[in-house]
Amino acid sequence: MFIFSIVFVVGIAFLAGKIIRSMQANHLPASEEGLKKDLLIYPGSELNFSSEVMNEVLSKRQPYFSHLAKEEQERFLLRLKKFISSKTFIIHDRSGFREMPVLISASAIQLSFGLKEYLLPYFKFIHIFPAEFVGVQPTIRVLAGNVSGNRIHISWKHFLEGFQYTHDGENVGLHEMAHAYYFQNFEIGSYSDDNFVTHFPSFNHCGNKIFEQEKLPGNDFFSEYALKNFQEFWAESVERFFEKPVELKTVYPQLYSTMAALLNQDPVTFYSPHIQ
């Protein structure tokens, strides 16, 4: 159920490569023990990024953060610090960048910024792969990201592509976090957010109609992948909500308003054509 795969586009991969190369100066230090296993392991509580470092990374690469008012940015940074320190980051490579824990965690903070409960305590581990990786459960397949057990897995290459084109409606970071928040709130049922839980039935009700409607010829706001099952529809709705809010509000106004209530935020005000 928690699978997300995307088609690879050579041009986009090139741009992501450029970003990775521009981060060479921001290497995270490697521990000897991790290197023996070809892994970099960082307990978030030991990362101790200063607000200045996080601010610098987010201002460069995270458009949502850049559009926030100053005092909201302070709140975002406080939440981000807490989130990072509550996770362990496992990088499946011999080099890691400070952008990895900061930006991947920032996707969770973006999605949950209007909610009271945002820490996803069930998900203790965030695994970062340099590019697409192989998942073995329930079947062997190539993945750009997935949520499995208490772990969130993300391909860094695909994660960066999500932020390269911020208005194409595709963002693997937001997609996987959408699965994780659903799982925390409904499958685990502890540390659930009242607002999220209260409004989800309205999303269900409205979303189910659109889920069926989108299967009809001529309707293509959602991808074929989103129509695989309702979980994927939910995850892609979150991607569209943040990356194509104006279009979502125009095509499916009721779905947009149920999501704005559920997530307690209104990205149309961020991403109006006048604000760049």
Binding site for Zn ion (CB under 5 A): 4, 232, 235
Closer to Zn ion by Cβ: residue 25 or 136? 136
Report phi then psi at 154, rounded to 5.
Answer: -140, 135
CB of 268: closest distance to Zn ion in angstroms? 24
Which CA distances in Å does 140 have to 61, 224, 238? Answer: 33, 21, 26
CB of 256: closest distance to Zn ion in angstroms? 20
Closer to Zn ion by Cβ: residue 11 or 138? 138
Closer to Zn ion by Cβ: residue 35 or 142? 142
Closer to Zn ion by Cβ: residue 2 or 163? 2
CA distance 63 to 275: 11
Closer to Zn ion by Cβ: residue 47 or 188? 188
CA distance 260 to 276: 21
CA–CA–CA angle 68, 15, 179 (5° rounding): 55
Tell me which residue has its CB nearest to Zn ion. Answer: 4
Residues near 105 by Cβ (< 8 Å), separated by ≥ 6?
44, 80, 83, 84, 87, 126
| Residue pair 251/221 in contact by the 8 Å Cβ criterion | yes
Which CA distances in Å does 120 have to 9, 66, 228, 253? Answer: 32, 24, 25, 29
CB of 127: closest distance to Zn ion in angstroms? 16
| Residue pair 130/155 in contact by the 8 Å Cβ criterion | yes
CB of 146: closest distance to Zn ion in angstroms? 7
CB of 179: closest distance to Zn ion in angstroms? 6
